[in-house]
């Protein structure tokens, strides 16, 4: 069995600016520690940059799998047209028997508790399942007369790239 986490938050909560006077940014320390605990290369700074450059009504779910079985991090980058806070869904999964579960749980909770604006925090056995299920894609997202087919992009240690 697996244990899953899902947070709805502003994408800007996942990065930090070490120097407020510079544009350079990097992964938030908790996000870096989550990726390290799960053995995943998770390029959140690059995802963040691409997210900000994407047009509205676009964005796919990016799933990053780690070296250890059942571990993953996922982010839904769909940009809703009326969202002024750049809201994303960010989650992870770990085997429920894994000795790192309490550390991963603590990091997800700490990340959520540190958010400037709190939306939603969930954890349990199936809170992320629908988002990372390949059979659920492509997923149709309709906004009035506009249709976007969201895809699930899976990265198994491969370099993150736009296709």
**Looking at the domain assignment, is residue 151 inside a domain?**
yes
**Looking at the domain assignment, is residue 40 inside a domain?**
yes
* pLDDT (mean) for 134-152: 92
Is pLDDT above 50 for 91? yes
**pLDDT for 59:** 95
| Domain count along the chain | 1
Q: How confident is the model at residue 19 (pLDDT cuts 50, 70, 90)?
A: confident
Backbone angles phi, psi at 124, to 5 degrees: 160, -165
User: What value does the CA radius of gyration of the chain take, rounded to a whole number of Å?
Assistant: 15
**Looking at the domain assignment, is residue 160 inside a domain?**
no
**Looking at the domain assignment, is residue 79 inside a domain?**
yes
**Looking at the domain assignment, is residue 49 inside a domain?**
yes
Is pLDDT above 90 for 162? no
What does pTM read for this prediction?
Answer: 0.92
**Looking at the domain assignment, is residue 73 inside a domain?**
yes
> For 52-89, what is each residue's pLDDT tens digit?
999 999 999 999 998 777 899 999 999 998 899 999 99
**Residue-range definition of the domain harbouring residue 146:** 2-155
DSSP per position, the chain: -EEEEEEEEEGGGGEE-SSTTS---EE-HHHHHHHHHHT----HHHHHHHHHHSPTT---EEEEE-SSTT-EEEEE----TT-SS-EEEEEEEEETT-TTHHHHHHHHHHHHHT-SS--EEEEESSSSHHHH-GGG-SEEEEETTEEEEE-EEEESSPPP---
**Looking at the domain assignment, is residue 161 inside a domain?**
no
**Looking at the domain assignment, is residue 163 inside a domain?**
no
């Amino acid at each position: 069995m697996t244990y899953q986490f899902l947070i709805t938050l502003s994408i800007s909560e996942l990065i930090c600016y070490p120097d407020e006077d510079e544009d350079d940014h990097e992964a938030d320390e908790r996000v870096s520690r989550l990726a390290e605990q799960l053995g995943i290369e998770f390029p959140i700074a690059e995802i963040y940059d691409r997210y900000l450059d994407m047009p509205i009504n676009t964005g796919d779910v990016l799933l990053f799998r780690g070296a250890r079985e059942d571990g993953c991090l996922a982010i839904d980058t769909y940009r809703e047209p009326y969202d002024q806070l750049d809201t994303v869904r960010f989650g992870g999964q770990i085997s429920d028997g894994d000795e790192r579960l309490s550390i991963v749980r603590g990091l997800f909770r700490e990340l959520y508790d540190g958010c400037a604006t709190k939306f939603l925090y969930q954890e349990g056995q199936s809170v992320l399942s629908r988002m990372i299920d390949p059979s659920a894609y492509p997923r149709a997202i309709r906004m009035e007369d506009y249709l976007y087919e969201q895809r699930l992009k899976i990265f198994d240690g491969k370099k993150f790239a736009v296709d």
